[in-house]
């Protein structure tokens, strides 16, 4: 039996780029019906996320917008605004990541919507909390990485700030938003009332950084400098082998002893600096320099066998080219292939959450703009003549034809 706790819940997706689509994609995996609203210009990530056969479905866009119906409206036009009003009225949850002032101009901000529909759950994902001095400013993942000190962690470690080459702030904030929506839907079902949710990226990621790196300044008075010195060590990095790189971590005393023995460093087994967790914390710089020393006397495969036999957490370092061929990922079927209506054969990355031994179905491929206009407009009560008129006026986009 499929795990669909949100079956019967309609989510109106007023989001674009990454953070919002991540949230609504996750909700789709729990059985919610997602109706993604796009403007005629389309979601920026359709092109910004990289090349594609038609230029309209980058790989990033495909993966974050699976399992969603697509309606394309020009909500600057009054006729399209009427359609939007009907969509809001027939939805249980609204998720938006437009700037608050833009939503207010359109009359679809949380206060306006909940005043008309107090039973709705409205989730607003913002760059900055709406009660702070940065409220309403534009932002993107890299800006948040800099503002939260994430880029500065590399400055402390390497002498130069740098971004994580992954939209990590968007991913994390989007997943947290999905969790908040789940909690709000539970309340909605229990009480019949809705609520307003706000997930600010800056505060969310600042909390993530500080939970790990406020560290010794978590006490008054401080007992040391800020920062987890293990993570900030310039020696906290993959280790080179004869033909590649491996990543491993040894934290417990038995793991450390096993590592030293496996790497023929028996002379360090009696070194008091490394004899306990507390001792290694006091001598973290020396310890990380030792454990990051190159292991170029054996190949990656040989070191994997040795360290795994010692029950040490270790894996080879993949590249973007080799990761899809990882034998474990292939065995569990993380990546499948399917036919897209306009892009030909495309990769389909399934959910990693398993329910009662089964993964949820990946859902339909990300759709062309306006693919579901006709069906959704009919469901909202529009006649064929009215739909034709909406398309003729430009209020609603005619569906893009499928590839032949």
- Tokens 């390497």, located at residue: 158
Q: First vs last Cα of the chain: how many Å apart?
A: 35
Q: Examine residue 34 and say whether the peptide bond preceding it is cis (omega within 30 degrees of 0).
A: no
Q: Using DSSP, state whether 13 is helix, strand or coil.
A: strand
- Is residue 199 within 8 A of residue 128, CB to CB? The reply is no
- Tokens 């207010």, located at residue: 104
Nearest CA-CA partner of 249 in 241, 239, 261: 239
- Is residue 212 within 8 A of residue 230, CB to CB? The reply is no
Where b means 16+ CB within 10 Å and e means fewer, 201-233 reads bbbbbbebeeeebebeeeeeeeeeebbebbebb
Residues belonging to the chain: 404
Catalytic residue among 13, 92, 109, 170: 170
DSSP type of residue 317: P
Reply yes or no on whether 43 is catalytic: no
- CA angle, residues 160, 162, 168, in degrees to nearest 5: 155
CA distance 17 to 96: 11
Indicate which residues carry an active-site annotation: 170
């Amino acid at each position: 039996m499929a795990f669909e706790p949100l079956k019967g819940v309609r989510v109106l997706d007023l989001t674009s780029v990454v953070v919002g689509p991540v949230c609504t994609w996750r909700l789709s995996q729990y059985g919610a019906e997602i109706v993604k609203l796009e403007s005629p210009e389309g979601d920026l990530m359709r092109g910004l996320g990289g090349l594609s056969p038609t230029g309209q479905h980058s790989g990033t866009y495909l993966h974050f917008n699976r399992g969603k119906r697509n309606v394309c409206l020009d909500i600057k036009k009054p006729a399209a605004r009427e359609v939007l009003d009907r969509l809001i009225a027939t939805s249980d949850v609204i998720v938006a990541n437009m700037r608050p002032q833009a939503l207010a101009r359109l009359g679809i901000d949380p206060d306006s919507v909940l005043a008309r529909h107090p039973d709705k759950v409205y989730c607003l994902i913002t760059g900055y909390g709406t009660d702070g001095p940065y409220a309403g400013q534009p932002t993107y993942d890299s800006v948040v990485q800099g503002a939260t000190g994430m880029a500065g962690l590399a400055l402390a470690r390497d002498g130069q700030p740098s971004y994580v080459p992954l939209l990590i702030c968007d991913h994390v904030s989007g997943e947290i938003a999905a969790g908040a929506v789940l909690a709000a839907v539970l309340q909605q079902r229990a009480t019949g009332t809705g609520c307003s949710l706000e997930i600010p990226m800056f505060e969310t990621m600042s909390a993530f950084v500080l939970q790990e790196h406020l560290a010794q300044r978590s006490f008054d008075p401080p007992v040391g400098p800020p920062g987890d010195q293990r993570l900030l060590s310039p020696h906290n990095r993959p280790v080179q082998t004869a033909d590649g790189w491996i990543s491993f971590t040894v934290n417990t005393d038995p793991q450390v002893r096993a590592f030293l023995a496996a790497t023929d460093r028996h002379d360090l087994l009696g070194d008091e600096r490394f004899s306990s967790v507390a001792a290694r914390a006091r001598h973290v710089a020396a310890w990380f320099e030792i454990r990051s020393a190159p292991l170029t006397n054996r190949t990656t495969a040989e070191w994997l066998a040795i360290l795994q036999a010692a029950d040490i957490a270790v894996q080879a370092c993949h590249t973007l080219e080799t990761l899809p061929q990882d034998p474990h990922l292939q065995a569990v079927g993380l990546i499948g292939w399917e036919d897209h209506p306009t892009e030909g054969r495309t990769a389909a990355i399934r959910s990693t959450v398993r329910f009662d031994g089964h993964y949820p179905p990946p859902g339909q491929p990300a759709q062309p703009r306006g693919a579901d206009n006709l069906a959704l407009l009919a469901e909202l009560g529009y006649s064929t003549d009215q739909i034709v008129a909406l398309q003729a006026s430009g209020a609603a986009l005619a569906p893009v034809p499928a590839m032949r």
